[in-house]
């Protein structure tokens, strides 16, 4: 994987906002900078061109204590955000937000989605699901027990080893 660092990622323009070099991103990761102390890293395959959208991008706080990982389509539309928070000596995937758009033919901003489903997990295996669907008059909620969260644990990343955060695998299981 190759990585590009910045303060934020611009999904429709497919490049970092306020690009950072690796040394500045490392200083922020190590907690050696004042506000803003977090950074964004975009991960692409080694053979990807600069015109291709990254496989994912992540916003990382100092010492990897929190990471928001964005999974996007080929147009840069955000489809999933995974939120990891330090819990003990590991990261725990505490929330997943899934976005649905009118179609898959162009870039859509998050405000253009037609449905947002958010999953909020606790380490004890309970979860809350929030559904905001344009076709429904109200936002609905559902509480779920006995959720298998064993795949939600992740080692706190070492700087430059971001691939594990970008795994889109068994962690994503819709709850019903």
Burial class (CB in 10 A: 0-12, 13-18, 19+), 41: buried
Per residue in 108-140, pLDDT (tens digit) is: 999 999 999 999 999 999 999 999 999 888 999
What share of the chain in percent tops pLDDT 90?
A: 73
Q: Does residue 19 sit in helix, strand or coil? A: strand
Identify which has the larger pLDDT, 155 or 176: 155
- Could you tell me the pTM of the whole model? 0.92
Average pLDDT over residues 51-56: 90
Residue 49: pLDDT above 70?
Answer: yes
Residue 92: pLDDT above 80?
Answer: yes
Model confidence at 156, pLDDT cuts 50, 70, 90, reads very high
pLDDT at residue 165 in the model? 92
pLDDT at residue 48 in the model? 87
pLDDT at residue 174 in the model? 64
- Sign of the Cα torsion 164, 127, 149, 136 reads negative
CA distance 66 to 84: 6
pLDDT at residue 171 in the model? 65
Q: Specify the DSSP element, H or E, that contains 96.
A: strand 90-100
Query: Is-cis flag, bond preceding 36, omega within 30?
Result: yes
């Amino acid at each position: 994987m190759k990585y590009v660092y910045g303060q934020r990622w611009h999904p429709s323009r497919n490049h970092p906002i306020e690009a950072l070099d690796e040394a500045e991103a490392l200083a922020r990761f190590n907690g050696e900078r004042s506000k803003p102390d977090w950074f964004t890293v975009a991960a692409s395959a080694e053979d990807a061109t600069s015109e291709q959208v990254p496989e994912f991008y992540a916003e990382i706080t100092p010492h990897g204590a929190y990471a928001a990982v964005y999974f996007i389509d080929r147009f840069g539309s955000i489809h999933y955000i995974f939120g990891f928070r330090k819990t003990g000596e590991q990261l725990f995937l505490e929330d997943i937000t899934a976005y649905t758009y009118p179609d898959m033919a162009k870039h859509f901003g998050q405000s253009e989605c037609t449905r947002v489903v958010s999953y909020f997990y606790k380490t004890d295996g309970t979860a809350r699901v929030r559904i905001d669907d344009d076709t429904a008059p109200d936002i609905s909620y559902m509480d779920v027990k006995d959720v298998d969260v064993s795949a939600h644990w992740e080692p706190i990343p070492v700087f430059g080893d971001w691939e594990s955060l970008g795994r889109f695998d068994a962690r994503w299981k819709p709850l019903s």
